[in-house]
Structure 1
Amino acid sequence: MEYFDALIVGSGAAGLYTALNLPRDWRVALLTKEDLRASSSDWAQGGIAAVIDPTDSFLLHTEDTMVAGAGLCERQAVEVLVEEAPERIAELIHLGVSFDRYQGRLDLTLEAAHSRKRILHAQDATGRELVRALTEEVLVQPNITIYEKTLVTDLWVARGRCWGVRTRRAGVAAYLGAPVTVLATGGASRVFLHSTNPPVCTGDGLAMAWLAGARLRDMEFVQFHPTALAVPGAPRLLISEAVRGEGAHVLDRQGQRFLSRYHPAGELAPRDVVARAIYLHLRERGEDRVFIDFRPVGQQRIEQRFPNIRLTCAQYGLDIFEEPIPVAPAAHYCMGGVQTDLLGQTSVPGLWAVGETASTGVHGANRLASNSLLECLVFAHRIGRHTGLNTLNYPPPPALVDQAPPSPAAVQTILRQLPVLCWEACGIVRTALDLERGLAQLRLWQEWLAQADWTLDREALEARNQILVAYLLLQSALWRRESRGAHFRSDFPETALSWQVHTVIEHDHWSAQALKPDPVVYR
């Protein structure tokens, strides 16, 4: 058995940046079930929001975030996010992240629901550029050991704290111990049929934290990106919010703009409003896609800002200079997650969470565009710089005894049908009847596999984790009997003041948690 000072599970921006911010004399293990670049961060086209321009302010960024969050943002967390953003951007530039520039200055752009131009991009592959720079830095640090192709199957929890993780690598099970374990496993949007996330985003960290007794929060709030590429056989490539921010139009099959019928801001309305408007427009007409027209942006600006979108569309016979391209909503980002404090600590001693896995209080009911990569950086830095070591007297790890594996046919059935269930029962528009039917099917699947050992096979493990995440998602959506932010119940379409609370899930019990009061003085 090996021991480290810190274990980080996940190799996206949150995991990489946490590793780089931990003390350089710590022995750090970075574990990922694929390779270092297989993450949602690497797929992220959107940029990073930060107050850079002199005409912008922390107060404006804070208020934009609070408004987007529909009454559920924790103001103190939002202030931490926006006030520490400029320093994190400066560090990225020092590490070699190549942000777009115009006449020598950082080229700031506008995105939906932002009141100022404050979005930094690296063309339309900001996440990829960020992961590139962070990965190169991680690889040269002698204190960081990288475990690729390594399944983390469970957290090692005993005597009320987390002691490390159980892993399976090359078919061999083992425990790794550390006083600090950080979950940076990303989100869980692959539980939906249509998702902008890479296949690795199966909610592993959320499921493991739940099984370990950690408190989760606001799982019902899943953001559906309104414009994902809708071409048969093609991945649901995210057509960035920045495209509409630059002036692209959303059209129906008749070539008409229609979003202003649903919101006066039209294409620049909040993301959940645009996604719901497209969904309702398509359902009303019995159609499956709308179109986004790049041509108002102009060819020169398209070539400068969106080269990867242009090339990917070309692979599927689409010329964004000549024709609108088909798009439809897809699941994109989980606002809820493992509840943490402002230093990333969860309710389980010894366990931290960061990035999309965590619920820091920043996003509320609806994440403001381009705050997600920023959240990774700000809270990863806080974990790295404020987490101390404890001398531990480790208990003996549980015995590594393999039981019978689950039925391969059952696993394949779940992996095939569960995304359809989540999309239909807990998608953009939800009802109690659909949620209850979905929960009944999830319970049946859990009974199928209750006696199996999930650690033997990656697909089996991911099926277990997706069942758990789907259960938490649907049950939370059923519990919240109102519509707020990204959560829309057609049987409870109004936003109710009495529901301005967080949904807290602890030990299979759902309850409300009041928001912290705003600070009296703005820092």
Structure 2
Amino acid sequence: MWDALVIGTGIAGSTTAYLLAKQGFSVLALTKTNDPLESNTYYAQGGIVYKGPGDSPELLMQDILQAGAGIVNPEAARIVATEAQVAVNEVLIEAFGIDFSRNDTGGFDLTEEGAHSVRRILHALDSTGKTIQEAAISALKKIGIEIRSSYHVIDIITLDHHTRYPQRMYLPPTVLGVYAYNQSTGKVEKLLAKNVILATGGMGQLYLHTTNPRGATGDGYAMAYRAGARLINMEYTQFHPTTLFHPKADNFLISEAVRGEGAVLINKYGEAFMGRYHPQKDLAPRDIVTRAILSEMYATQEPCVYLDIARLGKEKIQSRFPTIYRKCLDYRIDITVDPVPVVPAYHFSCGGVYTDMEGRTTIQRLYAVGEVACTGLHGANRLASTSLLEGVVFGRRIALFLGRTRESWYEQPYQDIPEWKETGTEELDPALIYQDWALLKNMMWNYVGAVRTKKRLKRALVDLKNLREDVEDFYRDARISPEIIELRNAVQTGLIVAQHAWTNRESRGAHYRLDSEEER
């Protein structure tokens, strides 16, 4: 048994695991990928909020509140704004040893992004996430944390759902561990822990177009829901305005930092259009930029708009954005000369598993951190470059909280937890898996996408409920496998998002209802 079991090895999970281990906790980190580097964090280009000239916690908090469209949890915003610099210094710079990009004077080369008042974004050229993830995993290995790859968590073990303990109905809902499928052995293992930390990332693969990697299938939301945890703000699904529009590009993200450095969105006529939609023009909040791009696409009958990066100059482009420059060249687009075709894609969930400021969910000993969690920091729309920061700040807070409260832990009836019982015997039908994923992705994109209506959401609820029933039958009958685990989680999470979107009749931030009489 471990003191802490961390599910996910991105920036949030790695921060939590590292700081727990440094306090003497026994820690097991699980990832369903075959390489712990593979995570949403790895693909983050832009950067992480720090502190710039003329900056202050009050100014950062103001920007977070402004971007969040009126429903940011002010306590979460205050904590992140006041602890940002300390957390980045302590974890990323000192513990993980990351050397972010520097300017000519030797200081940090801070950049600006949408809806920020000042230049305050730390970066490592345009591959910040890759740099952070490599350093984080290296740090975990260096201090001896056990990382198990290719482990797919099926469900969270709870006192009331899984134990045979006769007095369980008199005790509060409590987590005791997880059941996880070990892909290398083909067996399901019972992994017991005194604390479980969900750091499973997001749900981008539910959508037809996404910036997220293959593993973002909404696992943490679905597992927490089945365990009985509270989820909030799930309708606030953020779309990134600019991904490369190319049939072979697989929605490669063009970082917001490009616009922060002066790139401009134009339509097919070469007109800079963002001034018609928001005073901050190309640096407006993401939800506004996304809808502006969609409006221009509909008005011009074009499948994309364009990003004029060439105005930055060849030298700056090649030195500041080498990854984007090389990637576009792979598709025969020279961004030092040609406008880049871009379209919006699903990017981030502002909602998630409800937690307090120490990462505690509504189930005892279950914590959540990073994108899967919701402290209310992002409100209805996330401020750029706060996702990596959120993982560091709240991962650190969870570790410190558990360190302070270790003596108050009490014993649980771990002996009453049964081993996993395999019930399914059928082989998976790959045609059904493929078709169910295709149905889900198209439903979410068309009915629960960047623009929603009552009719679309009603259709989504009917279709998703039917799909969930089919997939649950499929899950019960089939032998356990990564494919059925992910599909089951994805469909459940999609239904949760649709239900939250249906219930919320107002338009706010990333939840935009075309037929709403209330818009904020």
Q: TM-score, normalised by structure 2?
A: 0.92
Deviations 1:191-211 (A, max 9, x none): 110000001000001100000
**1:63 matched to which residue of 2?**
62
**2:494 matched to which residue of 1?**
470
Equivalent residues of 2:190, 2:419 under 8 A apart:
no
**2:38 matched to which residue of 1?**
38
Q: CA deviation at 1:129?
A: 0.7
Identify which of 14, 19, 22 aligns with 2:20.
22
Asked if residue 345 in structure 1 is aligned to residue 356 in structure 2, the reply is no
Identify which of 307, 310, 322 aligns with 1:307.
322
Alpha-carbon distance in 1 for matches of 2:419, 2:82: 47
Asked if residue 248 in structure 1 is aligned to residue 249 in structure 2, the reply is no
Alpha-carbon distance in 1 for matches of 2:339, 2:181: 46
Alpha-carbon distance in 2 for matches of 1:433, 1:187: 26
SS of residue matched to 1:14 = helix
**1:153 matched to which residue of 2?**
154
Identify which of 364, 369, 388 aligns with 2:379.
364
Alpha-carbon distance in 1 for matches of 2:205, 2:517: 26
Q: CA deviation at 1:353?
A: 0.2
Identity %: 41
Alpha-carbon distance in 2 for matches of 1:493, 1:241: 31
Equivalent positions of 1:182-193 (< 5 A) are 182-193=197-208
Deviations 1:70-104 (A, max 9, x none): 11111111111011111122122223212111110
Equivalent residues of 1:52, 1:86 under 8 A apart:
no
> RMSD value over aligned CA atoms?
1.4
Alpha-carbon distance in 2 for matches of 1:205, 1:45: 24
SS of residue matched to 1:492 = coil
SS of residue matched to 1:122 = coil
Letter in 2 for 1:474: A
Alpha-carbon distance in 1 for matches of 2:464, 2:430: 17
Equivalent residues of 2:52, 2:118 under 8 A apart:
no
Deviations 1:289-315 (A, max 9, x none): 111111111222212211111111111
Deviations 1:271-303 (A, max 9, x none): 110000001111223221111111111222212
Identify which of 470, 482, 489 aligns with 2:513.
489
Alpha-carbon distance in 1 for matches of 2:259, 2:415: 55
**1:515 matched to which residue of 2?**
none
Asked if residue 48 in structure 1 is aligned to residue 61 in structure 2, the reply is no
**2:165 matched to which residue of 1?**
none
**2:465 matched to which residue of 1?**
443
Q: CA deviation at 1:395?
A: 4.1
Against the structure 1 CA distance between its residues 97 and 138, is the aligned structure 2 distance closer, same or farther, given a 3 Å change threshold? same
Alpha-carbon distance in 2 for matches of 1:154, 1:438: 26
SS of residue matched to 1:321 = coil
SS of residue matched to 1:369 = coil
Equivalent positions of 1:394-413 (< 5 A) are 394-404=414-424, 405=426, 407-413=429-435
**1:13 matched to which residue of 2?**
11
Against the structure 1 CA distance between its residues 255 and 403, is the aligned structure 2 distance closer, same or farther, given a 3 Å change threshold? same
Equivalent residues of 1:217, 1:337 under 8 A apart:
yes
Letter in 1 for 2:132: L
Q: CA deviation at 1:108?
A: 1.2
Q: CA deviation at 1:409?
A: 3.4
Q: CA deviation at 1:407?
A: 5.0
Equivalent residues of 1:410, 1:448 under 8 A apart:
no
- Bigger strand fraction: 1
Deviations 1:456-509 (A, max 9, x none): 11111111111111101111111111110111000005326xxxxxxxxxxxxx
Tell me whether 267-276 or 451-460 shows the greater mean CA deviation: 451-460
**1:503 matched to which residue of 2?**
none
Equivalent residues of 2:113, 2:283 under 8 A apart:
yes
SS of residue matched to 2:209 = coil
Asked if residue 237 in structure 1 is aligned to residue 252 in structure 2, the reply is yes
**1:110 matched to which residue of 2?**
112
Alpha-carbon distance in 1 for matches of 2:396, 2:415: 30
Asked if residue 392 in structure 1 is aligned to residue 414 in structure 2, the reply is no
Alpha-carbon distance in 1 for matches of 2:303, 2:415: 55
Identify which of 163, 174, 178 aligns with 1:165.
178
Deviations 1:157-200 (A, max 9, x none): 11421001101112111110111100000011211100000010
Letter in 2 for 1:479: T
SS of residue matched to 1:101 = coil
Asked if residue 4 in structure 1 is aligned to residue 24 in structure 2, the reply is no
Alpha-carbon distance in 2 for matches of 1:166, 1:315: 42
Asked if residue 100 in structure 1 is aligned to residue 101 in structure 2, the reply is yes
Letter in 1 for 2:9: S
Equivalent positions of 1:372-391 (< 5 A) are 372-387=387-402, 388-389=405-406, 390-391=409-410
Equivalent residues of 1:192, 1:423 under 8 A apart:
yes
**2:164 matched to which residue of 1?**
none
SS of residue matched to 1:449 = helix
Tell me whether 308-317 or 209-218 shows the greater mean CA deviation: 308-317
Letter in 1 for 2:5: L
Against the structure 1 CA distance between its residues 346 and 184, is the aligned structure 2 distance closer, same or farther, given a 3 Å change threshold? same
Q: CA deviation at 1:109?
A: 1.2
Asked if residue 80 in structure 1 is aligned to residue 95 in structure 2, the reply is no
- Bigger helix fraction: 2
Equivalent residues of 1:23, 1:385 under 8 A apart:
no
Identify which of 293, 303, 321 aligns with 1:288.
303
Q: CA deviation at 1:412?
A: 2.1
Q: Which 5+ residue runs of structure 2 have no aligned equivalent?
A: 161-172
SS of residue matched to 1:166 = strand
Asked if residue 262 in structure 1 is aligned to residue 284 in structure 2, the reply is no
Against the structure 1 CA distance between its residues 392 and 455, is the aligned structure 2 distance closer, same or farther, given a 3 Å change threshold? farther
